[in-house]
């Protein structure tokens, strides 16, 4: 089956292949849009399901903890009314001394706690601290307050601790869990609540230790294995979680897709319950949907090849039959009269079109619409040599488009927009010049071809000269390519390809847009490889505009051959210039005017006067860059001056300050240091340093009691001999004389 379609594919003309390609691309695009819509709908529905499930499970978690708190309150009432505990609370003995405490009552109180503990499976242990006592009664024994408190808080008991005083309401406290624990509880959770006697007096605090394993097993039954749950207190403390987020802020910072499935619920205690699908599971579901739809898209794309091929072949068949019928009819009616022949052509055309259109009343209208399309299609077959040339010429003649002469020449053109009426009128005006035929074939919105047919090559050349003169004056035309003259219909495709190849070049001579293949053929091999513009780019990046201009002149000299320049050379220059502008923006933070950049980006090689336009854009960019570079350099030099002088002033009084040290610090030569100091200050390096040091020495001599030797060292001189010599040379007197004259 595949071989069958490949054979049919090869036998089809290019116009059919173009038809198939356009339709198949449209089919793939439509298929992609459908798959994208299905993907969006499916993922949205899946998230909705996840959120509804999370809502239900979140409600279940809240109800479970509400019931847990209720059971804690009931437990506190039951334990608080225990007579033995109240007796122990009223006992004046506060220390854990079994000789003084009623051991029987203490043991009975422990047994009562164990009994209460058995009622609630979510509790692992109970402990009671009686106010003012130094011991704690628990379900696992009695211990001192100090040991109990240290086991909870890792510190000595503090009388100010809220957990050793009456509490207004129950309170959770969270203790760090050991690292080897695998519990769902992020921390050891202890619920603390005050015990109240029958008179409403608080006399003890009850510590309820949660059984994390039991709670974890219960939570696993409440939520799905693919869900994460988070429980936070009103103080943003994590109570329970099986997720990775350590806090509410971290949880809410999850990705958009994962956060969409989260459901939040707050209970009466202001606890926050979050339940949502885990990000990993959500990603796997989205990936699964994507893979399924991608597989369906590829399968449909593969199946669509023969389907689109068959539909295009079916739609193209009437055109092919119409051409064959007209061609055959024209061959069989060579000796018929003109009137009879025209009637036979019309009937044949009508018969073919009637096989396409069912409405008989529209045949005349459809015939007038369809005929130009058929003529253009047959002319394309003639140019591309995809059918028998004699048959195509006969078919065109039968449609009223004769090509009777033995010489042929193709002309190609590119324009901003192809207006068929204008260019067809140019072809019709050429027929008035005598025995010749001139036809226009439209390829796309910007490209068209003329086929000139004349009795001999001289007439053909004359007609082409007249036609190109008209086209040169036609607005919007950017380039005209001229093929060679051929004398066989089978060779028309050669002239067509030559004219097509000529469109890859521009004619830079004034007043002409024509590119002749006869001139181009011997020189086109020289422009096969474009010279590099890397040197031009480097010079432009460094602000060397004169050298960049010279490099650009070399580039054009290598590319412009006998007034012809490859369009690819212009495009290469445009792209290189855009790249340089982007690099300047990135490296130095400046660029040329936005108007220049927009002009360069909107420039097209197919626009009229493309080369002059590009050259003018380059000159505008160069001027703008020169201004920007000048401003940037002034700013940079100002910064360099500040850094340079700051460093010099900071170290000027050091003994080792020298040209070599400055050069090593700024990674420049000593001569450059000397030149910069001279440019910045107007003095040589030694004179500037000496002036600064002597000026500072004068201040020290006048304002301090330092010795001359100390001042010499303080101003950067190795010994006072050198200092005295330079001081007298500059000031005209010795340091001692200066001090006497300026002593304050």
Cα torsion 140, 143, 149, 150: sign: negative
Domain boundary pick from 235, 259, 277: 277
Check residues 195 and 527 and name the one with the higher pLDDT.
195
Best CA proximity match to 202, nearest among 128, 145, 137: 128
Where is average pLDDT lowest: 279-283, 368-372, 449-453? 368-372
pLDDT digits (tens, 9 = 90+) for 50-61: 888 888 888 888
Q: Bridge-partner residues for 479, per DSSP?
A: 414
User: What are the DSSP calls for 299-360, one per residue?
Assistant: HHHHHHHHHHHHHHHHHHHHHHHHHHHHHHHHHHTTTS-HHHHHHHHHHHHHHHHHTT---G
Residue 502: which CATH number? Answer: 3.30.70.100
Question: Packing angle between helix 420-430 and helix 457-472, nearest 10 degrees?
Answer: 140
CATH of residue 733's domain is 1.10.10.60
Q: Percentage of the chain surpassing pLDDT 90?
A: 2
Task: Report the pLDDT value the prediction gives residue 392, as an integer from 0 to 100.
Answer: 81
Q: Point out which residues pair with 273 in neighbouring strands.
A: 231, 265
Assess if residue 738 is contained within a domain.
yes
Q: CA 487, 492, 493, 498 torsion: positive or negative?
A: positive
Asked if residue 207 and residue 86 are part of one domain, the reply reads yes
Evaluate whether residue 124 is within a structural domain: yes
Residue 410's pLDDT band, with cuts at 50, 70 and 90, is very high
**Alpha carbons 515 and 558: distance in angstroms, whole number:** 18
For CA atoms 306, 307, 311, 312, the dihedral sign is negative
Mean pLDDT of 680-700: 84
Q: Is position 635 within any domain?
A: no
Whether residues 515 and 532 share a domain: the answer is no
The DSSP symbol for 403 reads -
Residue 639's CB: how many other CB atoms inside 10 A? 10
Q: Answer whether residue 706 shows pLDDT above 70.
A: yes
DSSP class of residue 489? G
Domain assignment present for 314: no
pLDDT score, position 316: 60
Q: Do the beta carbons of residue 730 and residue 694 sit within 8 Å?
A: yes
| CA–CA gap between residue 403 and residue 426 (Å, rounded) | 17
Domain membership flag for residue 248 = yes
Give the chain's mean pLDDT. 77
Whether residue 617 is found in the same domain as residue 689: no
DSSP state of 178: P
Euclidean distance between CA atoms 104 and 2, whole angstroms: 98
Q: Are residues 143 and 243 in the same domain?
A: yes
Are 64 and 82 found together in one domain? Answer: yes
The phi and psi torsions of 123 (rounded to 5 degrees) equal -110, 135
Tens of pLDDT, residues 731-740: 888 888 888 8
pLDDT at 286 over 60: yes
Q: How many CB atoms lie within 10 A of CB 478?
A: 20
Residue 173: per-residue pLDDT: 66
Q: Are residues 261 and 140 in the same domain?
A: yes
Whether 148 and 261 share a structural domain: yes
The confidence score (pLDDT) of residue 183 equals: 41
The encoded tokens of residue 58 equal 């979140």
Among the residue ranges 31-35, 334-338, 582-586, 640-644, the one predicted with the least confidence is 334-338
Please state, in angstroms and rounded to a whole number, the distance separating the CA atoms of residues 383 and 310: 26
- The last residue of a domain, from among 277, 303, 333: 277
pLDDT level of residue 144 (50, 70, 90 thresholds): confident
Whether 335 is covered by a domain: the verdict is no
Assigned domain for 20 exists? no
Q: Answer yes or no: is pLDDT of 335 > 50.
A: no
On whether the CB atoms of residues 274 and 251 are closer than 8 A, the answer is yes
3-state SS string for 681-740 = HCCCHHHHHHHHHHHHHHHHHHHCCCCHHHHHHHCCCCCHHHHHHHHHHHHCCCHHHHHH
Number of domains into which the chain is organized: 4
Of 543 and 497, which is predicted with more confidence?
Answer: 497
Output 272 or 481, whichever has higher pLDDT. Answer: 481
- 249 in the same domain as 164: yes
pLDDT band, very low/low/confident/very high, at 34 (cuts 50, 70, 90): very high
Judge contact between 130 and 92, C-beta under 8 A.
no
Q: Are residues 513 and 557 in the same domain?
A: no
Q: 627-632 long-range CB contacts below 8 Å, 24 or more apart?
A: 628/590, 628/591, 628/592, 629/543, 629/545, 631/590, 632/588, 632/590
The last residue of one of the domains, among 255, 277, 299, is 277
Q: Which of the four pLDDT bands, split at 50, 70 and 90, describes residue 186?
A: very low
Least confident residue range of 70-84, 298-312, 625-639: 625-639
Extract the tokens encoding 531: 């010279």
Q: Which residue segment(s) compose the domain that 727 sits in?
A: 652-742
> How many Å apart are CA 66 and CA 659, to the nearest integer?
82
Does residue 558 sit in the same domain as residue 612? yes
CA 462 to chain centre: 57
Q: How confident is the model at residue 639 (pLDDT cuts 50, 70, 90)?
A: low
Residue-level pLDDT at 133: 83
* Mean of pLDDT values over 388-399: 80
Asked whether residue 120 falls in the same domain as residue 148, the answer is yes
- Longest alpha-carbon distance in the chain: 145
**609 & 680 share domain:** no
Q: Is residue 219 part of a domain?
A: yes
């Amino acid at each position: 089956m595949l071989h069958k379609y490949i054979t049919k594919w090869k036998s089809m003309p290019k116009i059919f292949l173009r038809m198939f390609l356009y339709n198949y691309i449209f089919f793939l695009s439509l298929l992609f849009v459908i798959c994208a819509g299905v993907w969006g709908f499916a993922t949205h529905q899946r998230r909705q399901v996840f959120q509804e499930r999370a809502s239900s499970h979140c409600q279940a978690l809240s109800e479970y903890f509400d019931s847990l708190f209720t059971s804690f309150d009931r437990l506190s009432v039951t334990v608080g009314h225990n007579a033995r505990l109240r007796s122990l609370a009223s006992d004046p003995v506060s220390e854990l001394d079994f000789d003084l405490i009623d051991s029987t009552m203490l043991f009975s109180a422990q047994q009562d706690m164990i009994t209460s503990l058995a009622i609630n499976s979510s509790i692992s242990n109970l402990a009671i601290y009686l106010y003012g006592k130094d011991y704690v009664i628990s379900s696992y024994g009695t211990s001192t307050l100090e040991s109990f408190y240290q086991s909870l808080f890792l510190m000595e008991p503090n009388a100010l601790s809220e957990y050793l005083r009456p509490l207004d309401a129950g309170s959770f406290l969270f203790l760090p869990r050991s690292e080897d624990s695998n519990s769902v509880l992020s921390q050891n959770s202890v619920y603390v609540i005050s015990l109240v006697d029958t008179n409403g007096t608080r006399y003890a605090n009850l510590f309820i230790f949660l059984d994390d394993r039991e709670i974890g097993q219960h939570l696993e039954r409440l939520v799905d294995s693919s869900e994460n749950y988070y429980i936070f207190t009103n103080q943003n403390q994590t109570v329970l979680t099986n997720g990775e987020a350590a806090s509410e802020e971290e949880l809410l910072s999850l990705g958009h897709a994962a956060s969409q499935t989260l459901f939040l619920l707050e209970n009466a205690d202001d606890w926050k319950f979050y339940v949502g699908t885990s990000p990993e599971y959500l990603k796997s579901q989205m990936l699964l949907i994507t893979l399924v739809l991608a597989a369906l898209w590829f399968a449909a794309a593969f199946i669509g090849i023969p389907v689109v091929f068959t539909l295009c072949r079916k739609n193209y068949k009437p055109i092919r039959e119409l051409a064959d019928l007209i061609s055959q009819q024209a061959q069989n009616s060579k000796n018929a009269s003109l009137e009879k022949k025209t009637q036979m052509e019309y009937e044949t055309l009508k018969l073919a079109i009637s096989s396409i259109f069912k409405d008989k009343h529209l045949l005349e209208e459809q015939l007038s619409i369809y005929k130009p399309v058929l003529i253009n299609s047959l002319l394309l077959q003639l140019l591309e040599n995809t059918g028998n040339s004699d048959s195509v010429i006969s078919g065109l003649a039968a449609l009223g488009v004769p090509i009777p002469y033995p010489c042929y020449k193709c002309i190609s053109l590119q324009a901003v927009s192809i207006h068929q009426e204008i260019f067809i009128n140019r072809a019709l005006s050429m027929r008035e010049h005598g025995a010749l035929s001139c036809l226009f074939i439209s390829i796309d919105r910007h490209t068209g071809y003329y086929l000139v047919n004349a009795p001999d090559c001289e007439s053909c050349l004359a007609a082409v000269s007249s036609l190109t003169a008209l086209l040169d004056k036609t607005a919007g035309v950017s380039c005209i390519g001229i093929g060679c003259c051929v004398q066989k219909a089978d060779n028309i495709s050669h002239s067509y390809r030559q004219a097509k190849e000529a469109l890859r070049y521009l004619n830079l001579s004034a007043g002409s847009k024509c590119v002749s293949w006869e001139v181009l053929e011997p020189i086109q091999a020289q422009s096969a490889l474009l010279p590099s513009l890397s040197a031009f780019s480097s010079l432009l990046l460094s602000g060397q505009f004169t050298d960049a201009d010279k490099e650009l002149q070399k580039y054009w000299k290598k590319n412009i051959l006998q007034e012809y320049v490859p369009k690819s050379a212009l495009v290469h220059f445009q792209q290189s210039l855009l790249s340089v502008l982007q690099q300047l923006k990135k490296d130095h933070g400046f660029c040329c005017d936005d108007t220049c950049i927009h002009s360069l980006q909107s420039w097209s090689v197919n626009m009229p006067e493309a080369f002059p336009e590009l050259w003018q854009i380059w000159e505008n960019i160069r001027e703008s860059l020169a201004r920007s570079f000048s401003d940037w350099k002034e700013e940079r030099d100002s910064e360099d001056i500040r850094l340079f002088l700051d460093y010099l002033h900071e170290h000027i009084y050091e003994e080792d300050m020298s040209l070599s040290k400055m050069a090593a610090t700024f990674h420049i030569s000593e001569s450059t240091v000397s030149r910069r100091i001279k440019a910045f200050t107007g003095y040589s390096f030694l004179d500037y340093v000496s002036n600064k040091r002597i000026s500072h020495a004068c201040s020290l001599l006048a304002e301090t009691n330092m010795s001359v030797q100390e001042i010499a060292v303080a101003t950067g001189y190795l010994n006072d001999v050198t200092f005295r010599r330079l001081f007298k040379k500059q000031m005209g007197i010795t340091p001692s004389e200066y001090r006497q004259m300026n002593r304050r």
